[in-house]
A and B are shown apart, each in its own frame.
Chain A
Amino acid sequence: DSGVTQTPKHLITATGQRVTLRCSPRSGDLSVYWYQQSLDQGLQFLIQYYNGEERAKGNILERFSAQQFPDLHSELNLSSLELGDSALYFCASSSPRRGGYYGYTFGSGTRLTVV
């Protein structure tokens, strides 16, 4: 168990629908990152939150949005879903550490299938 919890593990939904993916970061981590992993695009950075505020934005579609709540958990909302949105969605967390930077801790991902 990495300490980063993602739910649900699997999600099957129809085109045009909306889904919400949830992530609880590792205890003490303030940053949450969302990545999309697909066979053709690899791991693409979507968005980062730090202590409740948006910090960086990557290749995130306008149909997608995210937020980080006061308890530091984060949700990724995907709407008007298309077949091409089928992918693995990973959440990762990190926090600055005195004397260094230690990279990310990843959750096990949510596999989204749009049919």
Chain B
Amino acid sequence: AQSVTQLDSQVPVFEEAPVELRCNYSSSVSVYLFWYVQYPNQGLQLLLKYLSGSTLVKGINGFEAEFNKSQTSFHLRKPSVHISDTAEYFCAVSPSGNTPLVFGKGTRLSVIA
């Protein structure tokens, strides 16, 4: 069964600093990879996805992620964070489009003014 490990449960970072949220998944022949964001008292919103093709994926709100097959990683990055980026971020994986997503336990990003 697929599994996802988000290596940091909490990441504090100063405003306008860069950030990287780490995600590793258990290997499979091929996978679809996702990052979701959850703002307080809201549902999950899709940030970006990797299905195939270019390993660098750009998403909404200035976020990007890089798929690294050899390291089975899909780390999320943003060059300069804002206070409004404070939220919980979830990495998710699916072996195919018809298989339910498996989520990591989440990383709480706190942006400090």
- Chain A positions within 8 Å of B, measured between CB atoms, are 2, 4, 33, 35, 42-43, 45, 48, 55-56, 58, 90, 92, 96, 100-109
Closest to B32 in A: A101
A-B contact count (CB 8 A): 50
A2 contact set on B, CB distance < 8 A? 43, 45
User: Nearest chain A CB to B43's CB is how many angstroms away?
Assistant: 4
B residues 74-113 in Cβ contact with A at 8 Å: 90, 94, 96-106
- Tell me, in angstroms, the Cα distance from A35 to B104 when the chains sit together: 13
User: Nearest chain B CB to A39's CB is how many angstroms away?
Assistant: 10
Q: Count the B residues whose beta carbon is within 8 Å of the partner chain — how many?
A: 23
- Chain B positions within 8 Å of A, measured between CB atoms, are 32, 34, 36, 42-46, 49, 51, 90, 94, 96-106
Please state if B101 and A103 are interface contacts (CB–CB under 8 Å). Answer: yes
Please state if B103 and A101 are interface contacts (CB–CB under 8 Å). Answer: no
- Tell me, in angstroms, the Cα distance from A104 to B99 when the chains sit together: 11
Known: A2-B45, A104-B46, A108-B42. A42 touches B100 (CB 8 A): no
Please state if A107 and B43 are interface contacts (CB–CB under 8 Å). Answer: yes
Please state if B46 and A103 are interface contacts (CB–CB under 8 Å). Answer: yes
Known: A90-B44, A101-B97. A42 touches B105 (CB 8 A): yes
Please state if A43 and B103 are interface contacts (CB–CB under 8 Å). Answer: yes
